[in-house]
């Protein structure tokens, strides 16, 4: 069982950073099978609702299944109650799903609601921990080196985007299981916006 699990898990770098008015969320593109780079364009950042996103580190199948389940549950909640689920509610829902059926994943639930921006780290057993910023996956030690040095309360959106991009670049340079580009998105009270490839390239060129 361990050999099978090791063969299909992904090395990963994902990040969530709060700023004044929202949250930046990002992830790299690389998936590995042991020392082999299995895929260079894996999706690890998922829009779950207009105000909530999910990042995944771990088994690809588990991550994709969770993203579909969460998106459906949040949509049903909104249809029944005529209001979106809070970020805290989405984190609690995710944690409850993992308690009932453990997955080989480490997750971030990030988003913005009437209470402000939030980042929740959720482990495979269903533990949920809120923080101002968080990094997950095999590249997280390198990302935390950047975060601890450059994160500050009250950052602007542009500042948070730069810190997120620098963090993901650091992991790509030092972690063999991370890299091949990045996805970045911003979530404010107005909703979810994913940066285009050209916007990411422009951001990186200005670092």
What does the DSSP 8-state code read for residue 59? B
What spatial distance separates the first Cα and last Cα of the chain, rounded to whole Å?
A: 43
**Which of 168, 137, 180 minimizes the C-alpha distance to 25?**
168
| Helix, strand, coil content of the chain in percent (nearest 5) | 40, 30, 30
Task: Write out the E strands in 40-170.
Answer: 45-47, 52-58, 105-113, 116-122, 128-131, 133-136
Give the catalytic positions in this structure.
Answer: 12
Q: Do the Cβ atoms of 51 and 84 come closer than 8 Å?
A: yes
Nearest to 78 by CA among 66, 89, 67, 94: 89
């Amino acid at each position: 069982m361990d050999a099978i699990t090791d063969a299909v898990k992904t090395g990963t770098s994902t990040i969530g950073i709060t700023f004044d008015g929202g949250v930046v969320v990002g992830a790299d593109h690389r998936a590995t099978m042991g020392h082999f780079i299995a895929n260079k364009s894996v999706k690890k950042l998922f829009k779950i609702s207009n105000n909530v996103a999910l990042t995944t580190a771990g088994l690809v199948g588990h991550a994709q299944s969770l993203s579909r389940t969460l998106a459906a549950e949040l949509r049903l909640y909104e249809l029944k109650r005529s209001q979106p689920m809070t970020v805290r509610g989405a984190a609690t829902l995710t944690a409850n799903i993992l308690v009932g059926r453990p997955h080989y994943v480490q997750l971030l639930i990030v988003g913005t609601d009437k209470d402000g921006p939030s980042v929740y780290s959720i482990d495979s057993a269903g533990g949920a921990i809120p923080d101002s910023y968080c990094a997950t996956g095999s590249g997280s030690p390198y990302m935390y080196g950047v975060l601890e040095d450059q994160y500050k309360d009250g950052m602007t959106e542009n500042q948070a985007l730069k810190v997120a991009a620098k963090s993901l670049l650091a992991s790509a340079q030092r972690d063999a299981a991370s890299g091949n580009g990045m996805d970045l998105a911003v979530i404010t009270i107005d909703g979810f916006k994913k940066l285009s490839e050209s916007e990411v390239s422009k951001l990186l060129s200005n670092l």
